[in-house]
Structure 1
Amino acid sequence: MKAHYIKKTLGTLLAATVMLSCTKNFEDLNTDKTKISTVDNATLEYIFSAAQYRGCFGPNTTNSGATPFQRFANRYSDAQAQYFSNTSQSAESDRNVMVGNWLNDGWNHFYSNANAQLSVVMEQTEAGGPLQDPIKHAIAKVWKVFMFMPVTDNWGAIPYSQAGNGNTEVLYDSQEDIYKDFFKILKEANTTLSAYTGTTRYFEKGDLIYGGDVKKWTKFCNSLWLRAAMRVSKKDPALGRLQAEAAITATGGMITTNADNALMKVSTTTPHLTASISSFNEFRMSAAMESVLKGYNDPRLQKFFDPASGGVYKGIRNGLSQVQIGLAQNNVANNSNINSSFGFANRGVAPWTLFTAAETFFLMAEAKLNNWTVGTGTAQNYYQQGIDVSMAQWGVTDATVIGNYKTGTSTPAALGDIYNTPAMTNIPVAFGSTEAVQREQIGTQKWLALYPYGLEAWAEVRRTGFPKLYPRLNSDNTDAPAGDPGAVKRLTYPPIEASANAGGLASGISKLGGPDKVTTKLWWNP
């Protein structure tokens, strides 16, 4: 990329990374790794911690929750997945507006921080590297897939194979090529990790997820492999089936118990980001969540959200106009915030969920409906196991309550609000008799189980079409009408790329399969 991004040495990176207490914008968007100096294993631990936290769009400073997570993940993915509705007068993104500075924040942060830091880890630990270590390198490969997946799923073609090459121009890779590389490196990672039989922990001090537990990283690898396989399954069913069956049968197993869930440990210096921004009072529970959770009498309602004034649980339609935001019915006090048990006051306690056993089961249920080779269970078995482990994850343990939920015939509720909002859909929880209903049920329950991880939820909403979300009340984007809840297929590229990496941007647009607009579908979303 151009001289706007001055190349810096690893010394600057290390000084900023240690203990995750760094200054804002400390690293270049396109780090020149020919200038990397040697680091020791202790410092590498901290770099890996930073790559993990920043790879989830964690901020550079402990008091900077607004960027990039809020501006990128919360105001786009969370709102498009309709977990939350934005309530800020400045939140144009909930009306489908592509706000240039917010897109810049997410893009720059990812490439300047997460990718730069993980690249150091990978180059230090690769064969022939100063700190070569096949296990650490394999763990870093798994994390690379995890953190790059939402980036390509938001934009499509992105800098990938050439990111961080130190050149003045960085070309983009097509999403098809990126996903095929995901499969390659996950298979490589599994081969290395699953062969390990020792008890030593790798990145024990720096790994914020598993504390260096290799067996759990193996399961994470395989479940992530299944996630990627299902993502491409509609575009290329043969590839999806090949990779899904490979993941399901891969040595080491998958995440099928909550004890193996991928949870980012949080602290006062690495807070849960949804929790951090909950105190800003700029979002509340969506109407979609209200309709489904209330209609199903879902015991997770009280786990996900706090009651609003008067002790009621209430959500807001997405796409409020500035006038509507000012109405009393849409006041933040009258609508539900996230549950205070993992809210701002407890941001150093509740872990940040990245991948759970519930997701694995719902992916397997869908694969079974595809008539793929998926263990010995039925689609219904996997669907109900997904519900079971999601309930347990959220502390719902009453077997009678869970049993009644799984056989429940009630449907999502009409809201009785000033917009006469109807029920979001008409399906019950009890497993249906037709494939069409079953697919919607699996998609809807997976959407609930993914909460509050909107980056993944929005990708799955676009891929499957489920749940059948509400149309927005308003859209200020002429390319994305309010009446179509799926109008936004992707984010447009950040404006900064036009000046910083014009040639690269042109290469990316040429690989989109359409113009740089929100209506251009991603490769995997035919």
Structure 2
Amino acid sequence: MKKTIKKTIVFLVITSLFVSCTKDFEELNTDKTKLVGLDVASLEYSFSAAENRGIYSYAGQYQLGPGLFSDLQAQYFATTQKNFASDRNVMVANWLNAAWNFFYAAASPQMDVVLEYTKPGGKLQDPMKYAIAKIYRVSMYLPITDNWGAIPYFQAGNGKKEVLYDSQEDIYKDFLKTLKEATAVLSAYNGTGKFFEKGDIIYGGSPAKWLKFGNSMRLRVAMRISKKDPALAKAEAEAAVAAPGGLLISNADNANVSVSPIYTNPLGGYANLGEFRMSSSMESVLKGFNDPRLPKFFAPALNGGAYKGVRNGMTVTQMADPTNSINVTSGINATNVSNSVTAAKDNEGKTPWTIFTAAETYFLLAEGALNGWNMGGTAASFYNAGITASLNQWSITGAEVTTYLAGTSTPIALNDSYNTPAMTDIPVAFAATPDKQREQIGTQKWLAIFPYSSEAWSEVRRTGFPKLYPRLNSDNLDSPASDPLSIRRLPYPAIEAAVNAGGLASGISKLGGPDKSSTKLWWNP
């Protein structure tokens, strides 16, 4: 693992921003008045940089952010590197610093520039570009507040020495307000033009696709608060479903962040290190369901060709067990960037990174219907449509889809040295009782979101599904191994106490508990 993050120049902006794990975090207070001289072409590339950096696009940054936190907490993967204690719930200060720094010093400022220039009265004001940028800003900030809770949001990048944090409740309500306003602008557009056409690496500047994405983001955000504020969640979800422009319900409209020699798949360089493997949770479910996505998601072991996962929370001694060796366990499939160094490197510039799929939309609709909300269909029909969309996304069609939807087999016991039982007892075929249906929706959504762990971890915490395995060990006294959901949030990075002490204090005061990994987020009562 790289201990020092390469310094990154924020191109096309006069002021350069530099990022490293140990560098003082002055960039949080970047004074946007220094950003001068952008033209239309420069603005395009600032937007593409925001899109790219908003997903922790560099391998080293991805590893220190999602890779060593949400990837493991969502149990998509388990760590096989003895130097990484994060799979035993250790909150490593330097990694937290790096994840926070990259977002606030390299990703968010790019979006600030775009918004500053395109807003009403801005030097390059454009209501359509402004609306699109606001929608993407929500998608950038959603996993950040879901990682930490209260964060700098309204005042981020305000140029002041002290940047106060905002409560998660206020942030979420602003998400909904922003999405409503931005989608209204896009839905009123009757032209045929494109916006950020050269710089938009997700939709190529298509207003219609950004509108669907914005409506679907509104549905995602609404569902997240459904346990905390069910009345608001219901109203916003139903409004998103009824909104002009429709929802993202076709794989042709999936939000894929394109890759290139410049913009790489964030798992690319990280995957080729061989420091993580398929989790036992994934193994139990995919094998038990006879899931045709298994070879799409993961690669057979280099020795023996089996598909085998490992338990989360292994000690160094357990990692040294030959049965957990990287040679006899499964890495991520080379199609996504995986098990072999060559395959991973070759695919860094070929496989896009997906942040929203049609399958997720259908599962959100299924849960809403199960809640009794007006989603325009039944939970069963949306559930089956979600599975179908996910399978189709991975080029699985026809009879394989029909067979899978009717499947009655359940997750398997793993017959390993830890006597790991089946993860749960649900089949794929939609059950008759609401409790089982809710678990099935959550479990299939977890599979469909793969490998976007930032969203998966939030949904696991919110719903409790899938019923993940306990960790084998936890070195965090606040978060026991027996509870796979015991990590509720990430503690604030230590660097904030040094450079933004007043802001940090304001954040802690808005958490509803101490600055610990065991403190629940606002939406997770």
TM over 0.5: same fold?
Answer: yes
Structure 1 counterpart of 2:291, one-letter code: D
Aligned to 2:385: 385
| Whole-Å separation in 2 of the counterparts to 1:43 and 1:487 | 44
Aligned to 2:243: 250
Aligned to 1:337: 331
SS in 1 for 2:69: helix
SS in 2 for 1:338: coil
SS in 2 for 1:462: helix
Overall identity of the aligned pairs, in %: 59
How big is the shift at 1:342?
A: 2.1
5 Å matches for 1:92-491? Answer: 92-308=85-301, 309-343=303-337, 344=344, 345-375=346-376, 377-397=377-397, 399-491=398-490
SS in 2 for 1:263: strand
Contact 2:19 2:101 in 1 (8 A): no
Aligned to 2:520: 521
How big is the shift at 1:15?
A: 7.4
Contact 1:27 1:116 in 2 (8 A): no
Q: 1:142 to 1:394 in 2, by over 3 A?
A: same
| Whole-Å separation in 1 of the counterparts to 2:120 and 2:395 | 44
5 Å matches for 1:46-57? Answer: 46-57=45-56
Contact 1:295 1:413 in 2 (8 A): yes
| Whole-Å separation in 1 of the counterparts to 2:268 and 2:333 | 9
Contact 2:187 2:244 in 1 (8 A): yes
| Whole-Å separation in 2 of the counterparts to 1:467 and 1:484 | 13
In the superposition, the TM-score normalised over structure 1's length comes to 0.94
Structure 1 counterpart of 2:371, one-letter code: N
Contact 1:10 1:37 in 2 (8 A): no
Structure 2 counterpart of 1:389, one-letter code: A
Contact 2:50 2:110 in 1 (8 A): yes
| Whole-Å separation in 1 of the counterparts to 2:30 and 2:387 | 44
5 Å matches for 1:8-47? Answer: 13-14=13-14, 28-47=27-46
| Whole-Å separation in 2 of the counterparts to 1:362 and 1:11 | 39
Contact 1:29 1:113 in 2 (8 A): no
| Whole-Å separation in 2 of the counterparts to 1:259 and 1:105 | 34
Contact 1:30 1:111 in 2 (8 A): no
Contiguous gaps of at least 5 residues in structure 1: 1-8, 60-64
Structure 2 counterpart of 1:415, one-letter code: L
SS in 2 for 1:341: coil
Q: Deviations over 1:15-49 (max 9, x none)?
A: 769xxxx9868982221112221310000011111
| Whole-Å separation in 2 of the counterparts to 1:124 and 1:199 | 23
| Whole-Å separation in 2 of the counterparts to 1:368 and 1:10 | 44
Contact 2:278 2:329 in 1 (8 A): yes
Aligned to 2:492: 493
How big is the shift at 1:275?
A: 2.6
| Whole-Å separation in 1 of the counterparts to 2:13 and 2:89 | 36
How big is the shift at 1:327?
A: 1.1
| Whole-Å separation in 1 of the counterparts to 2:174 and 2:37 | 28
Q: Deviations over 1:263-282 (max 9, x none)?
A: 01011221111132110111
SS in 2 for 1:256: coil
How big is the shift at 1:412?
A: 0.2
Structure 1 counterpart of 2:470, one-letter code: P
Q: Deviations over 1:273-300 (max 9, x none)?
A: 1132110111010000000000000000
Contact 2:19 2:102 in 1 (8 A): no
| Whole-Å separation in 2 of the counterparts to 1:141 and 1:349 | 28
Contact 2:313 2:473 in 1 (8 A): yes
How big is the shift at 1:346?
A: 1.3
| Whole-Å separation in 2 of the counterparts to 1:278 and 1:193 | 38
| Whole-Å separation in 2 of the counterparts to 1:449 and 1:94 | 23
| Whole-Å separation in 2 of the counterparts to 1:116 and 1:351 | 23
| Whole-Å separation in 2 of the counterparts to 1:436 and 1:463 | 15
Moved more, 284-293 or 323-332: 323-332
| Whole-Å separation in 2 of the counterparts to 1:32 and 1:15 | 9
How big is the shift at 1:348?
A: 1.1
Contiguous gaps of at least 5 residues in structure 2: 1-8, 338-343
5 Å matches for 1:81-96? Answer: 81-96=74-89
Aligned to 2:341: none
Contact 1:390 1:449 in 2 (8 A): yes
How big is the shift at 1:418?
A: 0.7
Q: Deviations over 1:361-383 (max 9, x none)?
A: 000000001100111x2100000
Q: Deviations over 1:224-275 (max 9, x none)?
A: 1000000000000001001101111111001000000000101122111113
Aligned to 1:4: none
Structure 1 counterpart of 2:367, one-letter code: E
| Whole-Å separation in 2 of the counterparts to 1:217 and 1:15 | 30
Alignment size in residue pairs: 506
How big is the shift at 1:196?
A: 1.2
Aligned to 2:4: none
Contact 1:142 1:221 in 2 (8 A): yes
| Whole-Å separation in 2 of the counterparts to 1:10 and 1:520 | 35
SS in 2 for 1:353: strand
| Whole-Å separation in 2 of the counterparts to 1:89 and 1:301 | 26
| Whole-Å separation in 1 of the counterparts to 2:356 and 2:326 | 30
Contact 1:411 1:428 in 2 (8 A): yes
| Whole-Å separation in 1 of the counterparts to 2:436 and 2:267 | 32
Q: Deviations over 1:65-102 (max 9, x none)?
A: 22x21011011001000000011111111000000000
RMSD: 1.6
SS in 2 for 1:422: coil
Contact 2:12 2:42 in 1 (8 A): no
Contact 2:13 2:36 in 1 (8 A): no
